[in-house]
Structure 1
Amino acid sequence: MRAESAVGDTPLVVLDLDVAPTVYGKVEWLNFHDQPYGGGSVKSRIAVSMLDAAEARGEIGDRTILEPSSGNTGLALTRVGVSRGYDVEIVSYEGTSRTKLDAIRDAGGTVHLAETYEGMLAKAERLLDSDDYYRPDQYANPANPRAHETGTGPELRAQTDGEVTHFVAGVGSGGTITGVGRALSPDGVEIIGYEPRKPYHAIDGLKYVRGSRFEKPEIYDESVLDDRLDVSTREAYAHAHRLRGRYADRTIDIRDTGRYDESVVRDRLRVDGDFLVGASAGGAVAAVHELDRRGRFASDDTVVVPLPDRGDRYRTLPPWGRFCHR
C-alpha cells in the first residue's frame, strides 16, 4: 500500500514576482513525492479524502472505481484506489496530456478515451449505468472541499505564522478554493478566484463556469470569494514560463519544508534543473500580477497561491511548445 501519510503538509516556497506583497507558493507535487511522472498533485488530497469517506459509508464494496478526469484526479484516484485493492477506470478525452494518461496506466488504472470533454462526460455516464461502478464524483463530493478545509487551509495558517492575507487560486472542481476559503475567511483572509477567460481554453484542470458550457460544480461555494477575475491561456502559460526563467539561475527560498527534510524538497522542486509549474499555477501568478496592477495589495500583505502540479506533465500539449519553449 502506498504511503498515504505522504499526502498533505506540503512545502511553502517564496515566489519573487516583483509585486508589492510577499508571495508564497504551496508545492502540491510533493504529495506522493517519490512517485514517477512528477510526483503527486493537489488532487492527491481529495483522492484520499473521498475514498476514506466512501469506505466509512460502505459505498464501494467490490465495485470498480470510475471517474471522468482530465488527468490529475484520475491519477490520484488510481494511485490511492489501486493501493487499497480496487480496480480503477478513468474516462478521459483526446486533449488530455499523454504524460498524465501514461501515468494512470502505469499506476494500474484502465483508461477510456472519448474525442472531446463533453464526450468524456457522456461516456462516463453510460458506464455508470452499471451497478459495477462507484463514482467518487469530485464535483459533487463534500469530501473534496473538506480535504482543504481541514488540511490545506490550516497548513497555510501555520506555515505563514498567521500572516497570510490573501489566497489566490483557479476554479476547477471548486474544492480547493471553497475549502481553503472556509478555513481562512473567518481569519479575515481574502479569497480570490480566477477562471479561464473563454469557454474553450487550455488551462488544464480549470473550468469556465460562468457561462452555459459547464454547470457550476455542486461543491463550489462562491460565497467564500471576495473577488473573481479571468485569465487567458496565453497569460497562464506565459507566467509559468517566466517562473522557469526567473529561477533558472536563482535559488528558490523555502519558507517551510512541510513534512520533508530540506534536501528532499530541493531535490523535488526542479526537473532537469528547471522550476516547472503547470498552467493553473501560471494562471494564479498572472492573477496576482493583475491584482497588483490594480493596487489591490499593500507591501505588508502576504499572498499564497497553490502550485497544483509539476509542469513537465504538460509537455505533450501544444500550448507548452507555443508558450513555454526554451
Structure 2
Amino acid sequence: MNSLETVTDSLLQKAIQLRPFVGHTPLYPIKNIGDHDNVNIYAKMEWQQFGESVKARPAYRIIRDAIQSGKLTSDKSLLDASSGNTGIAYAHIGARLGIPVTLCLPENASEERKQILKALGVKLKLTPRGGGTDEAQKVARKMYEKHPEKYFYADQYSNPSNWEAHYDTTGIEILEQTNYEISHFIAGLGTTGTFTGTGKRLKEFDSDISLIGLQPDIAMHGLEGWKHLPTAQTPAIYDENMADATRAVSTEDAYELIKETARKEGLLLSPSSAANLLGALELADHIEEGTIVTIFPDDGNKYGEVFNQLF
C-alpha cells in the first residue's frame, strides 16, 4: 500500500467512526396543535445529530462516498453551493475529518449561518442574493472547472449520494418508529434529497403510502433552502413523477406557526420546519384517518433575524 492509499484509508476510517453520530433522530408527536381525532402527526427532529440539521445525513454520505471512491483526498478541498444547512453539515464533518471546505453561499443567508461557517473554518464565496442557490451552483461549478486539481465538487443537487443517504437511513427510521403504520409522508422540496430518498424507501415498503411534496406558494419566498420549482432550476436528483401530490405553503403562515408551536408544543422551529408542519396540518384537515410524518430540518437557533420579527 502506497502513502496515498494509506492516507485515504485512514480518512475513510475516521469517517466510518463518525457514522453513529449521524441520523437516529427521534420522532416527535404533535399533540397540541390542530384537532384531528383519527390522524396522528409526527415529525423527525433532525437537529438532534452531528451537524445539527437534516443535511448531516447527505453531507456525511457525500463525503464518505467521495473518500471511498478516491474523488476526495487529503490534498483537496470540498467545494459546493449551499443555502446554509448543508454547508454547516459539511463544515462540522470536515472539521472532524480534517477536510477543508469551500462554499458558495447566497449573500442573503442568515448572519448566524455565516458566523457558524466562519467559526468552523469554511472559506466563503458569497453570491448575489437575487440568484439564490441556482446562481451559487453556477459559481461553484466555474470554480471547479477552473481548478479541478484543487477541489472535490460535491454538487449536492445532482449527487445521488444525497438521496441515497435518506433511502438508507431516514426512510427506514420512519418505518420502524411508526411501527410500519405510516400512511402519508410530506416534506419540502429543496435539493429534494430528503423527499426523494425517503419516498423511494417508503414506496418500496408500501406503494399505498402517499408522498406529498411541499414548495413555496410564490417565487420570492422566505423559506431558505426551499425551491419554487416552476421558477427554479429543478435538481437533477428529483423524480417529478414520485410525488402523489404537491402542495403550496405560505411563508407568512409558516412564520405564524412558529409562534404557535413555541407556545403550544415547546419547540422553537425554523421557518422550514414550521412550513413542513403547516403542510402536515393542512393535509390532516383533508383526510379522515392516518399517520402523517414530516421532517423538522432544523430548529430556530440559526434564525435570529426571523425571531426578532416574531417575538
TM-score per shorter chain, which class? 0.7 to 0.9
Q: 2:143 matched to which residue of 1?
A: 127
Could you tell me how far 1:233 is from its partner in structure 2? 1.0
For the residues of structure 1 that align with 2:228 and 2:80, how far apart are their CA atoms?
A: 20
1:95 aligned to 99, 102, 108, which one?
A: 108
Distance across 1 between alignment mates of 2:121 and 2:25: 25
1:80 paired with 2:69, answer: no
Indicate which of 271, 296, 300 corresponds to 1:307: 296
Q: 2:255 aligns with which of 219, 222, 237?
A: 237
Offset at 1:320? 3.6
1:48 to 60, 70, 78: 60
Q: 2:120 maps to what in 1?
A: 107
Pair 1:30-2:48 in alignment: yes
Q: CA deviation at 1:69?
A: 0.9
> Counterpart of 1:189?
209
Per-residue CA deviations over 1:178-208 (Å, capped at 9, x if unaligned) read 1111011131211111101111111011111
On the 8 A contact 2:30/2:265 being kept in 1, the answer is: no
Higher RCO (C-alpha under 8 Å, 6+ residues apart) = 1
Secondary structure of the structure 1 residue equivalent to 2:47: helix
* Structure-2-length-normalised TM-score: 0.87
Tell me if 1:9 matches 2:20.
no
- Distance in 1 (CA, whole Å) between partners of 2:278 and 2:35 is 11
Shift of 1:13: 1.1
Give the alignment's Cα RMSD to 1 decimal: 1.7
TM-score (norm 1): 0.83
Identity of aligned pairs, percent? 31
Counterparts of 2:35 and 2:103 in 1: how far apart (Å)?
40
Q: Matches of 2:292 and 2:284 in 1, distance apart? A: 11
**Aligned AA (1:315):** G
- Structure 1 match to 2:277: 285
1:158 and 2:176 correspond: yes
Query: Per-residue displacement from partner, 1:73-114 (whole Å, max 9, x unpaired)?
Result: 001111112322211111112210111111112222122222
Q: Within 5 Å, which residues of 2 pair with 1:206-245?
A: 206-211=226-231, 214-245=232-263
Shift of residue 119, structure 1, vs aligned partner: 4.7
Paired AA for residue 67 in structure 1: D
- Structure 1 unpaired stretches of 5+: 33-38, 249-274
Deviations 1:233-283 (A, max 9, x none): 1012111221111124xxxxxxxxxxxxxxxxxxxxxxxxxx211111111
**Alignment partners' CA distance in 2, 1:119 and 1:173:** 14
**In the TM superposition, what whole-angstrom CA distance separates every residue of 1:114-153 from its partner, at most 9, and x where no partner exists?**
2322553343233222121111111000011101111000
Where does structure 1 differ by over 4 angstroms across 4 or more consecutive aligned residues?
A: none
Unmatched 5+ stretches in structure 2: 1-13
2:235 aligned counterpart, secondary structure? coil
2:280 alignment partner, SS class = helix
CA distance in 2, matches of 1:44, 1:144: 10
- For the residue of structure 2 that corresponds to 1:30, the secondary structure is coil
- Residue number in structure 1 paired with 2:9: none
d(CA) in 2 for partners of 1:119, 1:163: 41
Distance 1:283 1:43 in 2: 17
| Cα contact 2:141–2:153 (8 A) shared by 1 | no
Of residues 137-146 and 102-111 in structure 1, the stretch that sits farther from structure 2 once superposed is 102-111
Count of equivalent residues: 285
Q: Does 2:77 match 1:64?
A: yes
The one of 188, 194, 200 aligned to 2:220:
200
